[in-house]
């Protein structure tokens, strides 16, 4: 494996601009002038932060799950919940793999969707496993934790010794009886949206596996295009890795060439154009989305959501909250809040509130047949760029 020479402004899998202090710090902190890929690190303005192979090891919930898998000492019921679909799926698969035998349809059953009959689940749970140490029941996207499930909640106290439940749900109500029962009788692991630093470390891991490097600008551009959805990040990185197969380093132009722009980013650019009274540019971005077959009502929904987030951000800023507090309040990554903060500063709170109301009015006009969806959104953009 080829060492990376630290003297030329390259550090680990992350490129840094020569002259930013990185080389001198590395010379002081590290005895050798070369690093191998086994020890990647991040450089921000010359500061060096080493990290281990497991990016998410800091999370006590995930560490507990891995400990159960490693020791084979399982709880009789697990609940995996939270907004991060990718991590929830990864740990669901790890648990299932550790607790079941491949292709054992006799002792492993999956229930999915809103129409699951609780009686059938309990009957199955009461059935002894066939030539296996345990019966595993996986229940996904059931909505059980958002509704009254007294029967199942009571059953959690009576689970047989050889029966195990895995619930996998995006949204839960922590006040529900079933949630409290699972918390008392089993283990709950919540997977939230990961912060910017964690996502960057994870991307660096992906970069290192491909034996490549990535510039700081490329990293920031890549994250701005993908957002915080880890499944989307992985999918887009696979495309990027294939596109740069013959290159040692990933640069911003590579990201621009191959990575898909999210609808949310285009909406952001559209609102930015509105803020600058660039009506023609805002409309051009809208027509581009129409040409890409984006439904006008979906565009309207995203515009309404965007103005609503800007309104919340502006309100919190007026209350002198910092980025971290705003991020917690809005359940967004800090780097996303930073973008909203910069854009919100260009608008008055009254204007943002009015635009949210205009979006609702536009939707109502379409539903009542007073205007076509394409024209309704077009008029909204024109009105917004005129009245700011």
- How sure is the predictor about 1, in pLDDT bands with cuts at 50, 70 and 90? very low
Q: Are residues 310 and 223 in the same domain?
A: no
Domain boundary among 229, 258, 287: 258
Domain boundary among 167, 190, 213: 190
* Whether the Cβ atoms of residue 380 and residue 270 lie closer than 8 Å to each other: no
Q: How much of the chain, in percent, has pLDDT values that exceed 70?
A: 84
Range of the domain at 162: 60-190
pLDDT (tens digit per residue) in 75-100: 999 999 998 999 999 999 999 999 99
Residue with tokens 């499930």: 149
pLDDT (tens digit per residue) in 164-178: 999 999 999 999 999
Lowest mean pLDDT, pick from 133-142, 218-227, 314-323: 218-227
* Whether the Cβ atoms of residue 273 and residue 285 lie closer than 8 Å to each other: yes
Q: What is the CATH number of the domain that holds 217?
A: 1.10.8.60
Domain boundary among 210, 228, 258: 258
Q: CA torsion sign, 304 to 307 to 313 to 318?
A: negative
- 3-state SS of 90-146 is HHHHHHHHHHCCCCCCCCEEEEECCCCCHHHHHHHHCCCCCCCCCEEEEEECCCHHH
Q: Report pTM.
A: 0.65
- How sure is the predictor about 275, in pLDDT bands with cuts at 50, 70 and 90? confident
Measured CA to CA, the distance from residue 25 to residue 263 in angstroms comes to: 41
């Amino acid at each position: 494996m080829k060492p990376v020479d630290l003297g030329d402004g390259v550090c680990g899998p992350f490129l840094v601009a020569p002259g930013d202090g990185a080389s001198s710090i590395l010379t002081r902190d590290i005895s050798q002038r070369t690093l191998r890929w086994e020890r990647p690190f991040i450089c921000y303005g010359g500061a060096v932060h080493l990290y281990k192979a497991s990016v998410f090891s800091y999370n006590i919930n995930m560490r507990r799950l891995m400990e159960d898998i490693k020791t084979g000492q399982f709880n009789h019921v697990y609940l995996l919940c939270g907004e991060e679909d990718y991590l929830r799926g990864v740990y669901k698969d790890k648990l299932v793999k550790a607790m079941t035998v491949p292709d054992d349809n006799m002792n492993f059953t999956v229930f999915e969707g809103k129409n699951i009959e609780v009686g059938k689940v309990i009957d199955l749970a009461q059935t002894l496993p066939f030539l296996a140490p345990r019966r595993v029941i996986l229940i996904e996207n059931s909505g059980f934790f958002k509704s009254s499930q007294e029967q199942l909640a009571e059953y959690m106290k009576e689970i047989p010794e050889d029966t195990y439940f895995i619930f996998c749900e995006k949204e839960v109500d922590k006040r529900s009886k079933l949630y409290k029962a699972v918390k008392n009788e089993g283990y709950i692991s919540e997977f939230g949206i990961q912060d910017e630093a964690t996502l960057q470390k994870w991307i660096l891991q992906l970069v290192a596996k491909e034996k490549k490097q990535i510039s700081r600008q490329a990293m920031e551009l890549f994250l701005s295009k993908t957002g915080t959805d880890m499944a989307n990040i992985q999918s887009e990185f696979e495309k990027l890795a294939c596109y740069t197969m013959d290159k040692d380093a990933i640069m911003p132009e590579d990201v621009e060439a191959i990575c898909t722009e999210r609808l949310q980013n285009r909406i952001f650019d559209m609102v930015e154009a509105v803020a600058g009274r660039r009506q023609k540019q805002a409309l051009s971005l809208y027509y581009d989305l129409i040409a890409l077959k984006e439904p006008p009502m979906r565009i309207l929904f995203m515009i309404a959501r965007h103005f609503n987030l800007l309104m919340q951000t502006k309100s919190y800023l007026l209350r002198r909250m910092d980025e971290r507090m705003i991020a917690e309040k809005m359940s967004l990554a800090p780097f996303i809040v930073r973008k909203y903060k910069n854009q919100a500063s260009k608008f008055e709170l009254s204007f943002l509130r009015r635009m949210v109301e205009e979006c609702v009015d536009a939707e109502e006009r379409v539903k009542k047949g007073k205007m076509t969806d394409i024209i309704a959104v077009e008029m909204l953009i024109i009105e917004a760029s005129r009245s700011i």
